[in-house]
Amino acid sequence: MLSVVIPSYNEKGLVLKASQRLSEILSEAGIVYELIFVDDGSRDTTWEEICIASENNDAVKGISFSRNFGKESAIFAGLEMASGECCAVIDCDLQHPPEKLVDMYNLWQQGYEIVNGVKEDRGRESVAHGFAAKCFYKLMSNAINIDMSRSSDFKLMDRKVVNVLLSLSERKTFFRALVGWAGYKSVDVPFCVEERTEGATHFSTKALFKYAISNITSYSSAPMQIVTVLGSIFLFFSVILGIQTFIKHLLGNAADGFTTVILLLLIIGSIQMIGLGIIGYYISQIFIECKARPRYLISRQCGKDFTK
Q: Which residues bind ligand UDP (CB under 6 A)?
A: 7-9, 11, 40, 68, 70-71, 74, 91-93, 95, 201-203
| CB neighbour list of residue 9: distance below 8 Å, 6 or more residues apart | 39, 40, 41, 42, 46, 68, 71, 74, 92, 202
7 or 180: CB nearest ligand UDP: 7
CB of 53 to Mg ion, least distance (A): 19
197 or 244: CB nearest Mg ion: 197
100 or 113: CB nearest Mg ion: 100
* Number of residues near Mg ion (by CB under 5 A): 3
68 or 245: CB nearest ligand UDP: 68
- With 0-12 CB in 10 A as exposed, 13-18 as middle and 19+ as buried, what is 171? middle
- Residue 48-87 contact track with Mg ion, rule CB under 5 A, x = bound: ----------------------------------------
Question: Of 16, 71, 59, 63, whose CA–CA distance to 37 is shortest?
Answer: 63
Question: Of 151, 152, 156, whose CA–CA distance to 105 is shortest?
Answer: 156
Concatenate the DSSP letters of all residues of 80-142 into one string: HH--SSEEEE--TTS-S-TTHHHHHHHHHHTT-SEEEEEEEE--S--HHHHHHHHHHHHHHHH
Q: Which of ligand UDP, Mg ion, none binds 171 (CB below 5-8 Å, type-dependent)?
A: none
Number of H helices, E strands in the chain: 10, 8
Q: Which of Mg ion, ligand UDP, none binds 98 (CB below 5-8 Å, type-dependent)?
A: none
| Cβ–Cβ < 8 Å for 90, 105 | no
Binding residues among 87-146 for Mg ion as defined by CB under 5 A? 91, 93, 95
From CA 237, how far away is CA 250, in angstroms rounded? 20
Binding residues among 173-202 for Mg ion as defined by CB under 5 A? none
CB of 266 to ligand UDP, least distance (A): 38
CB of 231 to ligand UDP, least distance (A): 36
7 or 84: CB nearest Mg ion: 7
CB of 131 to ligand UDP, least distance (A): 15
Q: Which of ligand UDP, Mg ion, none binds 74 (CB below 5-8 Å, type-dependent)?
A: ligand UDP
Helix (H, G, I), strand (E, B) or coil at 10: coil
Q: Which of ligand UDP, Mg ion, none binds 209 (CB below 5-8 Å, type-dependent)?
A: none
For 35, left (φ over 0), alpha (ψ -120 to 50), or beta? beta
78 or 84: CB nearest ligand UDP: 78
Applying CB under 5 A, the residues found at the interface with Mg ion are: 91, 93, 95
